[in-house]
Amino acid sequence: MTIVAERDGGSAPAPLLPPLRIGRHEIGSPVVLAPMAGITNRAFRRLCRQYGNDGLAAGGAGGASSLYVSEMVTSRALVERSPETMRLIEHDGDEHPRSVQLYSVDPATTAAAVRMLVTEDRADHIDLNFGCPVPKVTRKGGGSALPWKRDLFRAIVGAAVTEAARRDVPVTVKMRKGIDDEHLTFLDAAQAAVEEGVAAVALHGRTAAQSYSGQADWLAIRQLKEAVTSVPVLGNGDIWSAEDALRMVAETGCDGVVVGRGCLGRPWLFTDLAAAFAGTTARVRPTLGEVTDTLRRHAEYLTEFYDGDELRACRDIRKHIAWYLKGFPAGSEVRNRLALVDSLAALDELIATTDPDIPWPGEPAEGPRGRAGSPRTVALPENWLASRELDETQRATVAQAELSVSGG
């Protein structure tokens, strides 16, 4: 992979942030891969880890790479040992810390799921999802709607921390600012989480009503950092480049960054991030051939993830095609055919028709990727906003919430 850098003098660069401490774990680069449904499975995390390690090397730094979190699984599906959920929590043998994101709406099920993860030695770190803005989740009171109910939020976090502490597994929480601008929860929820014993708090600087639209509010991240001083505060939202990450840290004072959509089709962003936080200007500028090599490797890793099922792997890789080729003059016919690829051999044939020497296109390949959506009224259980505490009707609604979340 082509790495360009501007270096001056011969002195070793000074790291811009110290390693990130998450409980007993030291993360050499203060960067977290955000859990993304259908994206951050074992195959994609492997790619990101490889590039993150390259970045540490380019920056002259040692130690662990970034923290790479699995895609979200529900506590109920985990306790029931759903086959697909068990696949989603698989990790490579050299993956450490092994990180799992858990979605839950019930303290008892949370406790059972965390107990299973730690007693069966399936995770070294657990992240709790309180940021999902998807209507089928918020409609039942889950995800980014849940912190509004202070008693339920605190009970879930406390249950997870208590069970995880039995094996010294740190628990973190990821949340949004709140439901909408009139119903913000991030400051009191973060304080409650810290009191319950979490090891770090991550904030996506948007409300549930924003989905992924508009601009992330980095001022909210700064406010959270000023309010929470006993554990690391991580910032999330609109990090499309290493320079964005450095700017977020400078503007908010956060202890690390969480990167989601910015690495779609660009796992080498972790090279850039690790190098940037190590204090160097080393950045990856791949040719089209290097990009298609990465795409091919991703498809191969997915085939392994799906137990040799090439068709399933190729169906999965299709959604990544546009992200990988963003900005490159690959041609509409090739793009369209790649989006229908059904085997590794077919993928190889199509890649062979592209020009591997086409250089990195620069700005056209940079910037936002993935769907932004548009602002909306958040779907919530009836009378959800009337009180910060659960009533009996809402308790029954929330009890069904995990059933509405498919795919583990």
Task: List the catalytic residue out of 132, 254, 263, 314.
Answer: 132
Q: Which SS3 state, helix, strand or coil, does residue 68 take?
A: strand
Which DSSP string corresponds to 177-195?
SEEETTEE-HHHHHHHHHH
Decide if 189 contacts 175 (C-beta within 8 A). Answer: yes
Give backbone dihedrals phi and psi of 210, rounded to 5 degrees, phi first.
Answer: -75, -25
Q: Which SS3 state, helix, strand or coil, does residue 310 take?
A: helix
Decide if 254 contacts 5 (C-beta within 8 A). Answer: no
Please indicate whether residue 314 is annotated as part of the active site: no
Which DSSP string corresponds to 292-303?
HHHHHHHHHHHH
DSSP conformational letter for 129: E
At position 182, the amino acid (one-letter code) is: E
Chain CA centroid to CA 136, Å? 20
Picking from 1, 5, 99, 4, the residue whose alpha carbon sits closest to that of residue 53 is 1
> How far apart, in whole angstroms, are the C-alpha atoms of residue 364 and residue 261?
16
Decide if 369 contacts 262 (C-beta within 8 A). Answer: yes
Q: Which residue has the tokens 């200007």?
A: 281
Decide if 344 contacts 303 (C-beta within 8 A). Answer: yes
Catalytic center residues: 132
